[in-house]
C-alpha cells in the first residue's frame, strides 16, 4: 500500500495551546520514504520553473528547503529569526496571531532579479510567509512561487500569498486550524 504525505503527519490537539490542532511533520522527516516523496514532489514541480535560489523560513523550511535546493542545483538562503545571522542583514517586523516578530536575511544573499522559491513546512494565516516574501522583494529577488508541505486553507494564508501574485503549492491540506 502506498502512503500519502498526509498519512505521515500527526495531529497533536491543544498544542501549543488549547484549541489548536498542531500538524507535526516529524513523522514525515523520520521516514526516509516519506521525506524523499515530499522532496521529490516539490522538486518535480519546480525543476524547470526558473528557480535561481531557494529561501527557507526558519525552522522547518530549512529542512525541506535545503533538500529542494540541493536537488534543483541552486543555492539556499535561510530566513531567520532576529539575531541569528552574523554580518549585515535586512530585517522585517511582522504581526503574528498573538504578537509580533522579526525576521532577517543577509543583505547580499539574493542576487538582484533572482527567481526565489519560498519553502516552509506549513502555511496557516500566511503572516510569516508574507513577511518572508516582502524581505526577499526588498533584497531585489522575485518570488513567483511558494511551496509548503501543509496548507490550512481555512486560515487563508495561501490565498493571501496568491493575492500578492505568488503561486502557492502544498503537498497536502488539512481542515480546521
Q: What is the pLDDT of residues 43-81, one digit of tens each?
A: 999 999 999 999 999 999 999 999 999 999 999 999 999
Residue ranges covered by each domain of the chain: 5-173
Determine whether 33 is an active site residue.
no
Cell numbers describing residue 135: 524581505
Catalytic, out of 97, 102, 154, 162: 97
**78-136 pLDDT per residue, tens:** 999 999 999 999 999 998 767 789 999 999 999 999 999 999 999 999 999 999 999 99
Domain formed by 5-173, architecture: 3-Layer(aba) Sandwich (3.40)
Give dist(CA 102, CA 88) in Å, integer: 15
User: Does the annotation count 97 as an active-site position?
Assistant: yes
Q: Which residues are CB-neighbours of 145 under 8 A, at least 6 positions away?
A: 46, 49, 51, 117, 118, 166, 167, 168, 169
Q: If DSSP codes are grouped into helix, strand and coil, which group holds residue 156? A: coil
Q: What is the pLDDT of residues 149-165, one digit of tens each?
A: 999 999 999 999 999 99
- The whole-number average pLDDT for the span 137-155 is 97
Helix or strand or coil: residue 150? strand
Bridge partner residues of 10 (DSSP): 24
Q: What average pLDDT score do residues 20-31 get?
A: 96
Please determine, for residue 177, whether its predicted confidence score (pLDDT) is greater than 90.
Answer: no
Q: Which of 23, 60, 80, 160 is catalytic?
A: 60
CB pairs under 8 A, 24+ apart, for 69-76?
A: 71/39, 71/40, 71/43, 72/43, 72/46, 72/47, 72/117
Distance CA 12, CA 83 (A): 30
- Predicted TM-score of the model (pTM): 0.95
Amino acid at each position: 500500500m502506498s502512503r500519502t504525505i498526509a498519512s505521515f503527519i500527526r495531529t497533536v490537539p491543544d498544542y501549543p495551546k488549547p484549541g489548536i490542532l498542531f500538524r507535526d511533520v516529524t513523522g514525515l522527516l523520520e521516514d526516509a520514504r516519506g521525506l524523499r516523496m515530499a522532496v521529490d514532489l516539490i522538486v518535480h514541480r519546480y525543476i524547470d520553473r526558473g528557480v535561481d535560489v531557494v529561501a527557507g523560513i526558519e525552522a522547518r523550511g530549512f529542512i525541506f528547503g535545503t533538500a529542494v535546493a540541493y536537488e534543483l542545483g541552486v543555492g539556499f538562503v535561510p530566513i531567520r529569526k532576529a539575531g541569528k545571522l552574523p554580518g549585515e542583514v535586512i530585517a522585517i517586523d511582522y504581526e503574528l496571531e498573538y504578537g509580533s516578530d522579526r525576521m532577517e536575511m543577509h543583505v547580499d544573499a539574493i542576487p538582484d532579479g533572482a527567481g526565489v522559491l519560498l519553502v516552509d513546512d506549513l502555511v496557516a494565516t500566511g503572516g510569516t510567509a508574507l513577511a518572508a516574501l516582502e524581505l526577499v522583494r526588498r533584497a531585489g529577488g522575485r518570488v513567483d512561487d511558494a511551496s509548503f508541505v501543509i496548507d490550512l486553507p481555512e486560515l487563508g494564508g495561501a490565498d493571501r500569498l496568491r493575492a500578492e501574485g505568488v503561486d502557492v503549492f502544498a503537498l497536502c491540506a488539512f481542515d480546521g486550524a
